[in-house]
Chain A
Amino acid sequence: MHKEWLARIIVIVLVATAIAIPIGAWWVRSQGNVIHARMAETGGWTPENLTTEVGQPLHLRLTSDDVMHSFAIGQSDQPAVDVIPGEMTEVTLTFDKPGKYTFYCTRWCSVNHWRMRGTIEVTGPETTAEAVEPPLYVTLGLDIDAEHHTEVIPEQMPSAVRGAKLGVNIPAEYQSHEYYLSNSPVELWKALREESSLSRHGDQDLWDLVALTWQSNTRPQDLTEGMQLFATNCAACHGEAGAGDGVFADDLDQPKTGEHAVMQAGEMTTLPTDFTDPDHMLAASPAHLQGKILRGGMGTGMPYWGPIFTEEQTWALVAYLWTFQFETED
């Protein structure tokens, strides 16, 4: 009899221990600031909205529940850290300005990779409302969703080098940075075509001059930074060479049935833009491109990058995009 009770107690104690360990561990773990990363299809970041105060260090422990992700904060110098399945990555963040920050994944984890975003709301003692200027495309009143085509396609890729060799003086009004930002290459080309002083030059010569003007508005460091940003954030869909053939391009073009319907989360998507196609690229102004980057392409699957890139970064990216259309010095 005593033996039977001893046996029962042993079984109950052992089973209770086996249950208590995971429950206890679960409780201990829930006390820490753990953020779980999952592919956007299965939930993205959990939790996805964090709050903290200016100057208060925010300790985060990051882990992934599926594949490797990465944690980065938009418009910040905080370096991206990898978030690895079954491991904990610890980061400590301190914000010196109040506002709403976006954190996001920088690993191409799935076709909806860019949807892996969350926010950190940083509250401060005083809310020094900085005047936020609307982006240029808004000031200009550009309809960035309108169809745009180039009437005159250059016979060969416009070259800034050839343009410089022509030794032509481009009227100063077209050389200003403001002109560059708000006009498309084809608009400049048409304006130059109207110039009587340039009437003896052929159409291709004028395209080379357009390339030269664009180059003169671009700093080499912008191209370097733009290239890095493009490779990290854009090439997944638009392809390394800008031809709209990135690794996820095919998925974005899939019919929305079967397995892919889940992948797309019901979103309508289109094939990524091909930056090597002169027809629509040459008819777009830098302000237009920046608008697309900031706001995203409504109904196309193109993410909005406004909360992630700084203004300098968006202009650097725009500058880099033109290298798919114009030959530059090196």
Chain B
Amino acid sequence: MNRLQEAAWEERVSQGSSEPIRSRRLTLPERIDLYRIPWIRPLLQSRWPQFLIRSLTLAGFVFTIAAGLFGSRVGSHNFAIIFVWIAWWTALKLVFIPLGGRSWCSVCPIALPGEWLQQGGILEKRHRRFGLNLRWPKRLRGSWLQSSGFLLIGLFSALTLTNARVTAWVLVGLFGMAIVLSLVFERRAFCSYICPIGGFTGIYAKTAPVEVRVIDTKICAAHSEKTCYQNCPWGLYPVALRDSSQCGLCMECLRSCPKDNIAVNLRPFGSDLGQARQSSRLDETFLALVMIGSALAFSAVFVGPWGILKSAAFAIGSPAWALYGLGFLALNLVVMPGSFALAVWMGQRWSGYKTQLRRAIANQSQVLLPLGLFAWIAFTISFALPKLNYVLSVVSDPFGWGWNLLGTANTTWSPDVSGFSPILQVALLLIGLLWSTSVAWRLAKVNNQSVFRQTLPILTFCLVFSLAMLWLLVG
């Protein structure tokens, strides 16, 4: 097998089953190709705008690390805590992911230093390169490591989210890992397989209204150089993109395509969802389950009323924390996967639809995506919005040293979400549930089976989850 064939390392689909999807895309009226819009085109074509944003975010992250290491130990007065866990997290959950999918990845600075060494240049590949350029081990592919990373964050969340030193070291660790991995492996191994943020950003990118896609596959088939694949830092072959989960929106394929055959589409929300897939990979299902399990756990610890749970989560290393950790892992490794598998199995049985259970579980994981995304948005609204005033105050006093650079250090104003946030959260959870319902419905229809019987157990699973979130967030 040559590298190119393996490029879309998702399972290859037969020509017959994939062809209709592609040809349909060509004629879809609801997509707007941003790359054809005259004033946007140069912004995407030139590497400079993206590069400048990335260098600014890089400087911002370096500053954040310094603030975390040297600033006040009081979390609410430290730039690192407020910017990483309040400002950036909120932006990620409320703006970057729902509206732009992996748009954060396109400006994320974590890979920049490593990529510079790996490629020998910041703006473009050059001859003097460093690194072994090994291929990522096959066993470690998929999002298993990303799920594990996210579980690890969950176990230590109370400490990480409140201790500026720990937050700084986590960032240092991410940068260090990204540099080491880009020196050992080819392309963006860290982003694709390790980065926990990349993991969930990727799966939720399927719901987002942005995609990079080939316009006419015939042109690509006739193009023998495949410059897009050669230049893709993520190792993707645009023709083979079946959904947006892997694409980091770096736009290198656009820049290198001599035929101008690639589009940056604005598309309807959730365009990647509701398609029957031939894959039986369970890693994305597991990641989707870890995300909704963590949404429950984070809501219980950070928003819930239980002091015992909070102090257990904070007392890292104590027996109480071990108990919390066991509960957290049991929820994510046993309860959520177990009950979801059971729901899928029951649906299969009732509807009499004969397919491999593993494949069915992999397929049904799409149902979990809108549910999880909106659960996280709802959680972020009650967790982060009331603390937005800290953003203004740490801008004036990033180290908590009593400065007042912009005169906003003592800002106490914060969006008062107490009035509308319960209504908003109910609405958000409802949207997630309804959206998931429609995805489940479409999947069942594609399978051409008894829609009601097949979806009922899975929708029960979704409903129970939504009610649990509702109870935790709204009470």
Q: Which residues of A contact B122 (CB under 8 A)?
A: 4, 7-8, 11
> Which listed segment binds A: B6-14, B54-62, B356-364?
B54-62
> Which listed segment binds B: A22-30, A124-132, A240-248, A312-320?
A22-30
Question: Which of B58, B67, B74, B402 is close to A22, meaning CB atoms less than 8 Å apart?
Answer: B67
Question: Which of B60, B74, B315 is close to A65, meaning CB atoms less than 8 Å apart?
Answer: B74
Considering only residues 11-57 of chain A, those with a C-beta below 8 Å from chain B are 11, 14-15, 17-19, 21-23, 25-26, 29, 38
Residues A22 and B51 in contact, CB atoms below 8 Å apart? no
Q: Which residues of A contact B60 (CB under 8 A)?
A: 18
Q: How far is the CB of A263 from chain B (nearest CB, A)?
A: 12
Q: Which residues of B contact A4 (CB under 8 A)?
A: 121-124, 126
Q: Mask for B69-83, Cβ within 8 A of A = 1, else 0?
A: 011111011000000
Number of A-B contacts defined by CB within 8 Å? 78
Give Cα distance in the complex from A23 to B116, angstroms. Answer: 26
Residues A11 and B112 in contact, CB atoms below 8 Å apart? yes
Q: B441: CB under 8 A from chain A?
A: no
Give Cα distance in the complex from A100 to B167, angstroms. Answer: 41
Residues A15 and B62 in contact, CB atoms below 8 Å apart? yes
Give Cα distance in the complex from A14 to B399, angstroms. Answer: 19
Question: Which of A10, A11, A65, A88 is close to B73, meaning CB atoms less than 8 Å apart?
Answer: A65
Q: A87: CB under 8 A from chain B?
A: yes
Q: How far is the CB of A290 from chain B (nearest CB, A)?
A: 39
Q: Which residues of A contact B67 (CB under 8 A)?
A: 22
Give Cα distance in the complex from A226 to B158, angstroms. Answer: 43
Known: A14-B56, A25-B401, A85-B400. A65 touches B66 (CB 8 A): no
Residues A85 and B55 in contact, CB atoms below 8 Å apart? no
Q: Mask for B99-120, Cβ within 8 A of A = 1, else 0?
A: 0000000000000100010000
Q: B185: CB under 8 A from chain A?
A: no
Give Cα distance in the complex from A17 to B402, angstroms. Answer: 21
Residues B58 and A85 in contact, CB atoms below 8 Å apart? no
Q: B132: CB under 8 A from chain A?
A: no
Q: A220: CB under 8 A from chain B?
A: no
Q: A63: CB under 8 A from chain B?
A: yes
Give Cα distance in the complex from A259 to B316, angstroms. Answer: 11
Q: B52: CB under 8 A from chain A?
A: yes
Q: Mask for A165-189, Cβ within 8 A of B = 1, else 0?
A: 0000000000000000000000000
Q: 17 new A-B pairs (CB below 8 Å) besides A22-B66, A22-B67, A86-B76?
A: A3-B123, A4-B126, A7-B55, A7-B123, A11-B58, A11-B122, A14-B56, A18-B60, A25-B401, A29-B401, A63-B401, A65-B74, A85-B72, A85-B74, A86-B72, A86-B397, A259-B318
Task: In the A-B complex, list the 8 residue pairs whose CB atoms are closest, starting with the nearest.
Answer: A86-B77, A88-B402, A14-B59, A22-B66, A18-B63, A18-B62, A85-B74, A18-B59
